[in-house]
């Protein structure tokens, strides 16, 4: 199970539960024990194609499109179909009327907050390097969106 970097997952406690409790086969926990100099290709394969990916998105349109933005892109392969199952935890404030509003939300709201978080966490700025728009899921049952009634995350 792989968790994409997400304030929603961090604030909800889901990230620490999956990656720190020992109750799950966490891809992140496993990759922390691997040598990045000699096993980087294997690490990237594990991140790109997990059995289950759990994460969030920057916006959900009223018609059901999901918009995910990323600096590294590590979660996007799993989101787009490489993971057998995808679960997105989404705060209520992320629901927007349409795709134009979703894209503006990413640039005007999410990116500045993620930039601040990345500077604190990694000592380097974030960037909108990759953007994924999911309009439909061709494999019924693969994806689940848990829309929370509260505002959580960016």
Residue 5 reports pLDDT greater than 90: no
pLDDT in tens, 89-142: 999 999 999 999 999 999 999 999 999 999 998 999 999 999 999 999 999 999
pLDDT bracket for residue 154 (50, 70, 90): very high
% of the chain surpassing 90 pLDDT? 95
Hey, what domains does the chain have and what are their CATH numbers? 2-147 (3.40.50)
What is the reported pLDDT for 113?
Answer: 95
pLDDT bracket for residue 80 (50, 70, 90): very high
Residue 153 reports pLDDT greater than 90: yes
pLDDT bracket for residue 17 (50, 70, 90): very high
Average pLDDT of the residues of the chain: 96
Residue 38 reports pLDDT greater than 90: yes
What DSSP assignment string belongs to the chain?
Answer: -EE---HHHHHHTHHHHHHHSSSS--HHHHHHTS-HHHHHHHHHHHHHS-SEEEE--SEEETT--EEEEESS-TTHHIIIIISSEEEEEE-GGGEESSHHHHHHHIIIIIHHHHHHHHHHHHSS-----EEEEE---SSTTSEEEEE-SS----
């Amino acid at each position: 199970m792989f968790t994409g970097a997400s304030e929603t997952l961090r604030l909800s406690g889901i990230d620490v539960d999956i990656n720190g409790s020992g109750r799950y086969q966490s891809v992140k926990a496993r990759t922390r024990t691997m040598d990045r100099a000699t096993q980087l290709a294997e690490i990237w394969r594990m991140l790109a194609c997990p059995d289950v990916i759990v994460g969030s998105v920057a916006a959900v349109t009223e018609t059901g499109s999901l918009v995910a933005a990323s600096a590294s892109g590590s979660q996007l392969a799993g989101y787009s179909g490489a993971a057998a199952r995808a679960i997105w935890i989404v705060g209520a404030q992320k629901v927007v009327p349409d795709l134009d509003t979703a894209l503006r939300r990413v640039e005007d709201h999410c990116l500045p907050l993620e930039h601040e978080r990345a500077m604190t966490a990694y000592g380097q700025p974030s960037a909108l390097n990759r953007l994924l728009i999911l309009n439909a899921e061709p494999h019924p049952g693969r994806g689940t969106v848990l829309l929370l009634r509260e505002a959580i995350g960016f």
